[in-house]
């Protein structure tokens, strides 16, 4: 019998640990349980709360294992892989066939670069539960990440046979069909997906990829952007992606017109959760440093993602020419987020060095694009 650690009821644990025993009156156990279970707490707070609960006397083993699961997750998210591994190992010593723990340990091994150990845990989990869609999908993603694309596709197909609505499986299948050159089959799956999930943005994002990267059909690509704007309105769906379509398949001037509105709109939409006062103070601070020229940075990045280094360079050079010393400092700081090795002082004072760095930076941004330039045979 396998205990589903992730499904333990928080209320039961809270009731258990909030008993009015003399040794516990000064500790807020309900609060500790709430923090350990995640919520909005910081990772360090989750780890601390879980540790206190794990070390509490008289806690039944199933609850202690649940707290170990939560602490192991927090260690993993905090990149403390050795400690995360120790917690999962402890769980598997008690419950050697627990699927959640095997999956979690496989994730940890992957993060640690131990492919063999990760695969062994996934294989063991499938031996225990060969038709478990969560395990099958994890194994398919693992295979895909390591170049075993046919095996990955077979795994995804099996997942869809078991659970046609399993999250991510239909999208994974479409991605495989696109990259395998089966464009008609990919389009057929996307048409079915649109009928089944008309408000899921992934359907239209993959549709956009299909027609921008492979079929080169501008009308279908623009239709995908319209659907994206419907289900996920905003600066990217309304300005960036239409610009991308026109840059790749249509009229460059139209693309540039979209991007000229993209920069200012992105600034307006940045950090909406901070409220009007946060936006106002941020605007004042940015204006004091670089005026309204921040738009050139965003437009430069947009062109870089579109694989248009020439237009990206124009935007960055315009920004530098119009903002002087403050602009050089700000751009040097931004570039350093992706190019750790740059000499910031040299970036500010050497024009030749600065240009070489910007060329490299634009190449790095282009490599992160979800729309690489692909020659279709």
HEC letters along the chain: CCCCHHHCCHHHHHHHHCCCCHHHCCCCHHHHHHHHCCCCCCHHHHHHHHHHHHCCCCCCHHHHHHHHHHHHHHHHHCCCHHHHHHHHHHHHHHCCCCHHHHHHHHHHHHHHCCHHHHHHHHHHHHHHCCCCHHHHHHHHHHHHHCCCHHHHHHHHHHHHHHCCCCCCHHHHHHHHHHHCCCHHHHHHHHHHHHHHCCCCHHHHHHHHHHHHHHHCCHHHHHHHHHHHHHHCCCHHHHHHHHHHHHHHHCCHHHHHHHHHHHHHHHHHHCCHHHHHHHHHHHHHHHHHHHCCCHHHHHHHHHHHHCCCHHHHHHHHHHHHHHHHHHHHHHHHHHHHCCCCCCCHHHHHHCHHHHHHHHHHHHHHHHHCCCCCCCCCC
Which regions of the chain are under pLDDT 70?
1-26, 39, 270-291, 374-377
Q: What are the residue boundaries of the structural domains of the chain, listed by start?
A: 1-128
pLDDT in tens, 166-210: 999 999 999 999 999 999 999 999 999 999 999 999 999 999 999
Fold of 1-128: 1.25.40
Q: What pLDDT sits at residue 276?
A: 46
Q: What pLDDT sits at residue 22?
A: 46
């Amino acid at each position: 019998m396998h205990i589903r650690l992730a499904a333990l009821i928080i209320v039961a644990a809270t009731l258990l640990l909030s008993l009015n025993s003399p040794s516990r009156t000064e500790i807020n156990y309900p609060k500790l349980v709430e923090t350990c279970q995640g919520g909005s707490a910081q990772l360090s707070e989750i780890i601390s709360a879980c540790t206190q609960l794990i070390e509490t006397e008289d806690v039944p083993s199933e609850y202690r294992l649940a707290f170990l699961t939560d602490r192991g997750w927090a260690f993993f998210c905090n990149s403390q892989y050795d400690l995360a591994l120790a917690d999962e190992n402890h769980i598997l010593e008690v419950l050697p066939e627990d699927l959640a723990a095997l999956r979690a340990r496989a994730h940890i091994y992957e993060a640690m670069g131990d492919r063999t150990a990760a695969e062994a845990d996934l294989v063991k989990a499938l031996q225990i539960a060969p038709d478990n869609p969560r395990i099958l999908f994890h194994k398919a993603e693992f295979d895909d990440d390591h170049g075993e694309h046919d095996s990955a596709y077979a795994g995804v197909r099996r997942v869809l046979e078991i659970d046609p609505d399993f999250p991510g499986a239909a999208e994974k299948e479409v991605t495989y069909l696109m990259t395998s050159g089966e464009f008609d089959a990919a389009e057929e799956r996307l048409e079915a997906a649109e009928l089944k999930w008309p408000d899921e943005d992934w359907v239209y994002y993959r549709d956009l990829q299909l027609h921008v990267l492979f079929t080169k059909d501008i009308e279908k690509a623009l239709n995908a952007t319209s659907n994206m704007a419907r289900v996920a309105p905003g600066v990217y769906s309304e300005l960036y992606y239409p610009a991308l379509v026109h840059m790749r398949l249509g009229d460059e001037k139209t693309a540039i017109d979209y991007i000229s509105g993209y920069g200012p709109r992105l600034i307006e939409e940045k950090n909406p959760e901070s409220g009007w006062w946060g936006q106002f103070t941020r605007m004042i601070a940015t204006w004091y440093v670089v005026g309204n020229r921040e738009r050139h940075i965003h437009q430069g990045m947009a062109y870089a993602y579109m694989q248009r280094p020439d237009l990206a360079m124009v935007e960055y050079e315009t920004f530098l020419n119009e903002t002087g010393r403050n602009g050089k400092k700000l751009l040097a700081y931004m570039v350093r987020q992706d190019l750790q090795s740059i000499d910031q002082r040299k970036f500010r004072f050497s024009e030749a060095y600065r240009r070489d760095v910007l060329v490299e930076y634009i190449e790095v941004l282009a490599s992160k694009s979800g729309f690489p330039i692909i020659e279709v045979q």
